[in-house]
Structure 1
Amino acid sequence: MAATWRRRGQTDEGGETPRKEVKSGVKMKQIPRLVVPWLKSVFRITRRRVLSGRCRGHASSGLLIAVFVLCLLYHLVFNIGMWFGNPSVVHWCKYKEVPSYLLRKEPDEITLVTAYFNLGTLKTGNKFWDYIAPYKYKQWMRPFGVIANRMVVFVEDDSMVEYFREIRSCFPENHTEIIKVTRSELWSFSVLDNVRKIYSNSSYPKLYPNTVSAEYTCVLHSKYELLQSVIDAEVFHSPALAWIDSGYFKNLDGITTEPFKLLVPSKFNTKKVGFSQIWPRDPYLSPSTVMTKHALWVSTGFILGLPKVLKNFTQQYRSSMEEFLDMGLMNTDKQVIYAMYSSTQKFKKYAKMIKPYTCHQGQLGLYGSDTQYYCLGFVCKHMWDRITP
């Protein structure tokens, strides 16, 4: 789908992405890097003095308590995001002109679809400090302000409408369609009580937040319903669509990043739906095993395809989800997609419509588990990076 002139004399897809990030000033994401060494130094000095007897009684106890409180406050504010209001947004277009080529609609451009549902402070793991607050999610959304693709955004309230408008303010208004939606009108939330009933079973395996928070589960399942609504409404008439989680490019938050677009990868099979692969698929795992053992095949943070193909996929997804609910099984969308193509399921023959993308360590600037979860989105970013100066 990409124009041939873009590929002349260029490296193969998946090569190293040219680095365009330049640190400038002290931003919110940089503060932890400055604070943590200081807190560690204070803790070491305090501990040394206590052990040497130079701090005794109430003085040493008070100092240790002060250090503990500082560490706790740091974690609550910078890791969990326990803060008020909306994060500040950098309007980069005030300091540089928006290039005309950035606003031109490309033949292989992707319309991005995303949503934000406020779940409050969400417990994300078994440790007592594993939480994420709404403020942190809002910080993760800020990179949408440098992604020049046309976007469809679903939100619940007027404050988020205004916040997304501010994030996207450097692009023309017609590049962003913001739609207010209520949970009560979504099918994915109509099954909330069914999901709660499954998770409330004491014998059902618990993993935060996957099989503990029914609301979190329903938010993840809403992706496919919202994708289908965009397809039916033919918003922007783009050749390709992609669901993108609101925090997908969170690693770009807090650094100066040149504006970019996401383009369809070269040689993308238009009959398939693209995902990032986490682990290879075992077709013989039963739906029960997939759901209760939290098996992983593909990451669902970025889902790419042509509208017609995506519509067929979302219909299969909903049908499978209804079947799993009837079986007393549920988990996140990752497990539903894995289980729906199990050898025992009616859609098993359609597993070939999934195109998993894999990246190796260091490719496209990705390391650790990021290579498994964010590969495809960064491949699409690389398609733009290699044709721009």
Structure 2
Amino acid sequence: MVDFTESFTEPVTNPTQPLTNFTQSVTKFTQSIPNVTQPIPKFTKSMTNFTKRMTTFSQSLTNVTQRITNLAQRVPNFTIVTAFFNLGSFRKGFWTTFTPELYQGWASVFGRMQNNLVVYTDDLTFKQIIEDSRLELKAQTSVVFIQNRSSLWAFQLRPHIQTIFADPSYPKHHPNTVLADYPCAQHAKYEVVARTIQDRVFPAAHYAWLDVGYFRDIVDQKFSFSLQVPGDFDDNKIAYTKIAEASLSVEPATLIKQNSLWIGGGMFIGTPKTLLTYFEQYKRAVHFFLSEQLMNSDQQMVYGMFTDKGRQIIKPTIELQLYTPQGPGNPWFYLGFHCLRKLNDPTV
């Protein structure tokens, strides 16, 4: 600090000298004060850099959030279960023949489906096709090879079913009431879905059964997709596509022998709890109809279970939520396409 008293204690020999000395002292004092404005440009620059970094961080956070959202869309909390049991070639309907090769061709569509997928099969070729098509989705895929399909409850019913179909008077609807393995494979759908839940393979809020050929109409297309549970789905029920109006007062024996339709069995949806209960309910229906010497595909078993007589005997506790086909497209596959969300389409 400058001492101003020095300027006024010297002998006055020059009248202007004190003023000169004072001016010099003030100048020295001013120079001795730090330049407080000097750091301001540095501070401003630091704030600018900080703002830029925060902007970059915010953008990175937005990108991470978007990736999480995209992942949630690509891998929804919805596990899909399917199966292929090699029944050889068989007649379907009046003139169509279904072959193992046909199913193998349809299976390629699973390579574009982003959901977790569980596949059961007794066919090594089919197993390899699934593994190859899901190579980029390996972590989301489980293939269960069934060494002996007779180990499944559904195929253990074959001898009894074969006895029913061997009766010349039993109506013939290819392959439902002709090839005993066919209804066995249909019943197995409910069994493998229950097994998937019990084994906690890709645990999820919802599970669906999906026929191998369900998306046969888009096999040749390129877009990837995921399946999402419909927003209006009731978790206490099982979802199916409604194929036809039902007469619930009809005798189960009549609708089973006439091959009557109400729901499409190509896809059904439920929560783990309802599906496990529904499997037990479905088994009760199958065993009852077998005891009555009646058999057909799962579509007739479900229909029969919910007729007036079926309700009295089976006493179902899990009800159905039916989706009525809307707009163009094959009505048999309505529910699946209602759930389908395209993730990219290279043709657009």
| 2:347 matches 1:381 | no
> What is the match of residue 120 of structure 2?
154
Q: In structure 1, the residue corresponding to 2:103 is in which secondary structure?
A: helix
Task: Report the residue type matching 2:325 in the other structure.
Answer: C
The residue aligned with 1:189 is 155
Code of the residue aligned with 1:292 in structure 2: it is: K
The answer as to 2:276 corresponding to 1:324 is no
- 1:179 maps to what in 2? 144
Pairing 1:229-248 to 2, within 5 Å after superposition? 229-248=195-214
Q: How does 1:63-82 map to 2 (within 5 A)?
A: none
Q: Partners in 1 of 2:300 and 2:204 — Cα distance?
A: 29
Instruction: Quote how far apart the aligned CAs of 1:161 are.
Output: 2.2
Q: Per-residue deviation at 1:375?
A: 1.1
Deviations 1:315-370 (A, max 9, x none): 100111011101000000000000011211236664871001012232xxx1xxx1
Question: CA separation in 1, counterparts of 2:317 and 2:168?
Answer: 33
| 1:237-316 to 2 correspondences below 5 Å | 237-256=203-222, 258-316=223-281
Output the CA distance in 1 between the equivalents of 2:86 and 2:292.
29
Relative to structure 1, the CA distance from residue 383 to residue 274 in structure 2 (aligned partners, 3 Å threshold; closer, same or farther) is: farther
Cα distance between partner residues in 2 of 1:271 and 1:384: 29
In structure 2, what is the Cα distance between the partners aligned to 1:244 and 1:123?
21
| 1:199 has 2:165 as partner | yes
Structure 2 gap ranges (5+): 1-66
**Aligned-residue CA RMSD in angstroms?**
2.2
Distance in 1 of aligned mates of 2:191 and 2:70: 30
Give the Å deviation of 1:141. Answer: 1.1
Residue 119 of structure 1: CA displacement?
A: 1.0
Compute the displacement of 1:152 (Å): 0.5
Aligned counterparts of 2:75 and 2:133: Cα–Cα separation in 1: 25
What is residue 333 of structure 1 aligned with on the other side?
298
More strand by share: 2
Number of equivalent positions? 277
Equivalent residue, structure 2, for 1:115? 83
Report if the CA contact (8 A) 1:264-1:380 is conserved: yes
Deviations 1:53-77 (A, max 9, x none): xxxxxxxxxxxxxxxxxxxxxxxxx
3-state DSSP of counterpart to 2:301: helix
AA aligned opposite 2:204: S
Look up the SS of the partner of 2:136 in the other structure.
coil
Helix, strand or coil: the match of 2:189? helix
State the identity as a percent: 31
Q: Which has the larger radius of gyration?
A: 2
Answer yes or no: is the 8 Å Cα contact 1:102–1:148 preserved in 2. Answer: no
Q: Does 1:142 align with 2:108?
A: yes
Match of 1:220 in 2: 186
| Cα 1:360–1:233 shift into 2, 3 Å | same
Deviations 1:27-76 (A, max 9, x none): xxxxxxxxxxxxxxxxxxxxxxxxxxxxxxxxxxxxxxxxxxxxxxxxxx
> Residue 344 of structure 1: which of 301, 309, 329 is its match?
309
